[in-house]
Amino acid sequence: MDVALDSLKFIDLTTSSIIFLFIVGFIGGLVSGFIGSGGAFVLTPGMMSLGVPGTVAVASNMCHKFPKALVGAIKRFRYGQVDIKLGLVLAASAGVGVQVGIRIQNIILEAWGQAGSNLYVSLSFVAVLVLVGSYVFYDAVKSSRGSGADETPALARRLQKIELWPMMTFKTANLRISLWFTLPVGFATGMLAATIAVGGFIGVPGMIYVLGAGGLVASATELVIAFAMGLGGTINWAMHGMVDIRLTLIILAGSLLGVQLGAIGTTLVREVMIKIVMGSIMLIVAVSRALALPKYLAQLGLMDISPERVSLMDQTSFVIMCVALTLGAVIILGAMYKAIRANAKQAAQEAYTQA
Amino acid sequence: MAQEVTKKQALLRMAGFGVASAAIYGAVFQHANALTEMFSRGGVYAAMPIATVFLVSYVHGGFASNLWSALGITAKSPAKTAQPAKTKRPEVRATLNA
pLDDT tens digits, one per residue of B17-35: 999 999 999 999 999 999 9
Say what percent of chain A tops pLDDT 70.
98
Q: How far is CA A233 from CA A60, A70, A237, A239, A267, in A?
A: 11, 15, 6, 10, 31
Residue at A5 is within a domain: no
- Mean pLDDT confidence for A315-329: 90
Domains in chain A: how many in total? 1
What is the pLDDT of chain A when averaged over all its residues? 89
Provide the whole-model pTM. Answer: 0.86
**Nearest residue, CB atoms, A253 vs list B35, B60, B82:** B60
Residue at A1 is within a domain: no
Q: What is the pLDDT of residue A125?
A: 81
Quote the ipTM score: 0.86
Residue at A354 is within a domain: no
**Mind listing the pLDDT tens digit for each residue in A42-96?**
888 888 888 888 888 888 998 999 999 999 999 999 999 999 999 999 999 999 9
Residue at A54 is within a domain: yes
Residue A101 to residue A190: CA distance in whole angstroms: 7
The minimum CA-CA distance between B98 and chain A, rounded to whole Å, is 40
Q: Which domain holds residue A166?
A: 15-338
Q: What is the pLDDT of residue A88?
A: 95
Residues 4-43 of B with CB under 8 A from A: 25, 28-29, 32-37, 39-43
**Nearest residue, CB atoms, A5 vs list B36, B54, B81:** B36
Please name the amino acid found at residue A194: A
Taking 70 as the threshold, does the pLDDT of residue B98 lie above it? no
Residue B44 to residue A241: CA distance in whole angstroms: 10
Taking 50 as the threshold, does the pLDDT of residue B1 lie above it? no
The minimum CA-CA distance between A116 and chain B, rounded to whole Å, is 30
Q: Contact A5/B53, CB-based, under 8 Å?
A: no
Please, are residues A36 and A267 in contact by the beta-carbon 8 Å criterion? no
B8 vs B96 pLDDT, higher one: B8
Per-residue buried b or exposed e for B78-90, using 16+ beta carbons within 10 Å of the residue's own CB: eeeebeeeeeeee
Q: What SS3 class is residue B91? A: coil
State the burial class of residue A44 (Cβ atoms within 10 Å of its Cβ: 0-12, 13-18, 19+). Answer: buried
Q: What is the pLDDT of residue A10?
A: 86
Nearest chain B alpha carbon to A80: B81
The minimum CA-CA distance between B81 and chain A, rounded to whole Å, is 4
Residue B28 to residue B35: CA distance in whole angstroms: 7
Q: E strands of chain A, at which residues?
A: 167-170, 175-178
Quickly list DSSP for A59-112.
HHHHHHHHHHHHHHHHHHHHTT---HHHHHHHHHHHHHHHHHHHHHHHHHHHHH
Q: What is the pLDDT of residue A209?
A: 94
Q: Contact A171/B65, CB-based, under 8 Å?
A: no
Taking 50 as the threshold, does the pLDDT of residue A171 lie above it? yes
Q: Contact B42/A68, CB-based, under 8 Å?
A: no
List, in sequence order, every residue forming a beta bridge with A167; answer none if it has no partner: A178
Residue B90 to residue B61: CA distance in whole angstroms: 47
Does any CB of chain A come closer than 8 Å to the CB of residue B61?
A: yes
Residue at A216 is within a domain: yes
Residue at A4 is within a domain: no
**Mind listing the pLDDT tens digit for each residue in A224-250?**
999 999 999 899 889 999 999 999 999
Q: What is the pLDDT of residue B2?
A: 44
Q: What is the pLDDT of residue B85?
A: 55
Please name the amino acid found at residue A22: F
Q: Which of the residue ranges A110-119, A328-337, B76-85 has the most confident prediction, judged by mean pLDDT?
A: A328-337
The minimum CA-CA distance between A243 and chain B, rounded to whole Å, is 6
Residue A6 to residue A242: CA distance in whole angstroms: 12
So where are chain B's domains?
11-70
Q: What is the pLDDT of residue B80?
A: 44
Q: Contact A249/B52, CB-based, under 8 Å?
A: yes
Please name the amino acid found at residue A210: V
Taking 70 as the threshold, does the pLDDT of residue A323 lie above it? yes
HSE of B98, CA atoms in CB hemisphere, 13 A: 3
> Residue B89 — very low, low, confident or very high, per pLDDT cuts 50/70/90?
low
Please, are residues A220 and A32 in contact by the beta-carbon 8 Å criterion? no
Taking 70 as the threshold, does the pLDDT of residue A116 lie above it? yes
